[in-house]
Structure 1
C-alpha cells in the first residue's frame, strides 16, 4: 500500500469518526430529564408565535386569560386546541441528547435559518424562549432551544401538530343557519338577481319562468347548503380594506329565516378573490369580522346563472340509422 493510499484511508476514517461523534447519542448531563424550556407551566404562557419552513407564521396571545389572534383584531382562538400543544412544549425534556455541535443543526433542520418549525414562547413572568423543531426520527422530533447548540429528541410531539396558519387554532365555523329555518333566499351576482321562497308545503319556488322552462329546486337546496354552513380559512379583522372588494362584491346572498314566529335576515357578501390563497373575502351581517373563505366553497354563489336553476330539457333520442336498401 502506497503512502498516498494510507493518507487517504486515514482521512476517510477520521471523517467517519467525526460523523459518528456528531450524531451518536451523548451521555446525558447531570441535569438530564429537566424541562428544556425551564420550569414554566402551560398556563404561564401568554404568547405563542409559530413559523414554518414555507414562510408562513401565526401569533397567538392571551392578554386577558382568553386566547386571541392579535393580527386579526383579537379574533377568538380556541383554547382547547392551544392548551394541549403548550403542555407538550413545556413537557419536552433534555433527556435524549443527539448532537452538540452547530454543524449538525442544518442536517437535523433545527438551524436558525433552516427549520421545520420555529416557536417563540413568552410567559407572564417575562421569559422569552425560542424552540426549533426539525426532522422526525422514529416517532420523535429533533428539537433545539434557541440559546443552545445541543439537539435533543422529543417524543409525543410532531411538527404537523404545530401549524403556522390561523385556521388551525380557531373554530372555523363562520355562518351557521338551520336549513329548515330559511324561508327566502336572494342571490345577486354578475349574472343577475335570483329570488326564491318556500311555499306553505316547504318547497322552493321561483317566479318569471318562461314557457317551456322547469324550475329545479334542488339547485336552491345545494346553494343554501353552502351558505348556511360556511367555514372560513382564516379571519382578517374588523375593519374593511379597499383590497377586500366590498364596494363591488362578486356576490351577495340574503337569507330570511323564521323560527317560533320570529324572523331574522342574514346577508353574506362575497368580495374580491385572492388568487394566491385561492380564496375570497367574505363578510356576514351576523359577524363583526371579515374573513377568507375557500374559493370552492363560494364558487357557486359567484358563478351561478339563471339557467343553473332550471332543469335541462330531456335530450332528444338520436334518429334511427337509415335501413340499407337491399341490392337487386
Structure 2
C-alpha cells in the first residue's frame, strides 16, 4: 500500500511538472520552438505597401529607386527609414506557439478577411507577396496577427502609431532640412546675415562688434532644421493666410539657389482671438509655403515663433577692449 502511495505521488509530481513546463513554454519567447518565418518574403523585394483600417481608410506607399513615396500625395517622399524598418520587422517575424488556430478565434481576435483592425498588402509590382491581418490588442504594444490563408494566430509588437493610415504619420518630416555649411546668406525681417570667415554674421557688423557664436549657431540650427507636421496639398487656399503672411524670409545656398519661405496663419483657428486680437498660442496653426516645394505644409507654431524672435541685438555684442590702469596693468572694459 505504501509503495502504491509513493508511485502515485511520483506520477502526480511528474504530471504537475509537465503542466508547468508546457505553460512556461507557451508564454515565453525563449521556449517557443522555431516554427519558421511568419511570411516567406524578403523586405528588399517589397516595392508597394497598402495599409487599410477597419473604417476603410487606405494608405499607399510605393518604392522608386530605393526611395519610398506617397503616390496619392503627389508622390511626396515618405520616411523611407521608418517604412523599411517596419517591413523588416514583418519579414523577420518568426512563428512561435500560435495563440489560437480556429475559425472562431479568427473572428474573436479580429483577424478575419472581413473583420480586422488593419490589413496590410505587400506587393512586388503587380505580384502580391503577402497579406497580413492585424487584430485586437494582445497586450502592451502587441497585436494579434494572421497571414492570409493561414488559421494560426500569432502576436506582433506594434503600437497604434506604427499602423496609422494617415499619410502625415509616414511623411519625411525633415524634407526641408539643409546643411548649415550650405547657407551663405539669410534675409530675415530687419536682419541680413552673410557668411564670413567665421560663419554667418550680420552683413552690417562693425569693427566694434562681435558675433555671439553660441546664439548664432542656435539660429542656424533653427533655420536649417525645419520639420514639417503635415501636408496640405498643392492648392493655395485663402484661409491659409498666405496672402497676409506673418513671416517671410529667404535663404541663399552656396550653389546660388535662393529658397523663399512664406508663413501664413490659418484663419479658421485665428478667429479665436484674445482681447488684443491675437490668437492664443495653443490654438495657432501655421501654413508654410516654400519656393522649391510643390506641397504646402503644416508647421508647428514653436518653430515659427523661434524664427520670428531672431533679432540683430540678440546676435551681436560690443567688443571688449583693454585699457591701462594707474599701476601700469590692464583691464577690460566693454564699449
Whether the TM-score (by the shorter chain) exceeds 0.5 is yes
Report matched runs for 1:39-58 at 5 Å. Answer: 39-50=40-51, 58=59
1:144 to 143, 146, 151: 146
Q: Structure 1 residue 60: deviation in Å?
A: 0.9
1:130–1:182 CA distance, 2 compared to 1 (3 A): closer
Aligned to 1:255: 251
Superposed CA offset, 1:39-93 (max 9, x none): 5554554432335799986421247775311122112335443334324334556
Unaligned residue ranges in structure 2 (runs of 5+): 1-25, 27-33, 205-210, 270-281, 317-335
Structure 1 segments unaligned to the other structure (5+ residues): 1-24, 26-31, 188-192, 208-214, 312-328
Deviation at 1:205, TM superposition (A): 3.6
- TM-align CA RMSD: 4.8
- Which secondary structure state, in structure 1, belongs to the residue aligned with residue 190 of structure 2? strand
Q: C-alpha offsets along residues 292-319 of structure 1, whole Å, 9 cap, x if unaligned?
A: 3222222223x538798599xxxxxxxx
Paired positions, count: 263
Q: Using a 3 Å threshold, how does the CA distance of structure 1 residues 233 and 51 change in structure 2: closer, same or farther?
A: farther
The yes-or-no answer on 1:300 pairing with 2:315 is no
Q: 1:182: Cα distance to partner?
A: 4.1
TM-score, scaled relative to structure 2: 0.56
- Alpha-carbon distance, 1:253 to partner: 1.5
How far the C-alpha of 1:230 sits from its partner, in A, is 1.3
Q: Which residue of 1 aligns with 2:154?
A: 153
Listed as ranges, the matches of 1:108-257 within 5 Å are 108=109, 110=111, 115=117, 117-127=118-128, 129-137=131-139, 141-145=143-147, 150=151, 152-154=153-155, 157-159=157-159, 162-164=162-164, 166=167, 169-179=170-180, 182-187=183-188, 193-198=189-194, 204-205=201-202, 222-237=218-233, 239-242=234-237, 243-257=239-253
Give the TM-score normalised by the residue count of structure 1.
Answer: 0.57
Contact 1:282 1:291 in 2 (8 A): yes
**Counterpart-to-counterpart distance in 2, 1:79 and 1:200:** 36
More deviation, 125-134/270-279? 270-279
Structure 1 residues 233 and 206 mapped into 2: Cα distance closer, same or farther (>3 Å)? same
Partner in structure 2 of residue 290 of structure 1: 296
1:132 and 1:146 in contact (8 A); partners too: no
In the other structure, the counterpart of 2:263 is 270
Say which SS state the counterpart of residue 293 (structure 2) adopts: coil
Which residue in 2 is equivalent to 1:83? Answer: 84
Task: Encode CA deviations 1:227-266: one digit per residue, 9 max, x unaligned.
Answer: 21212234455x23315443333311112345xxx64422
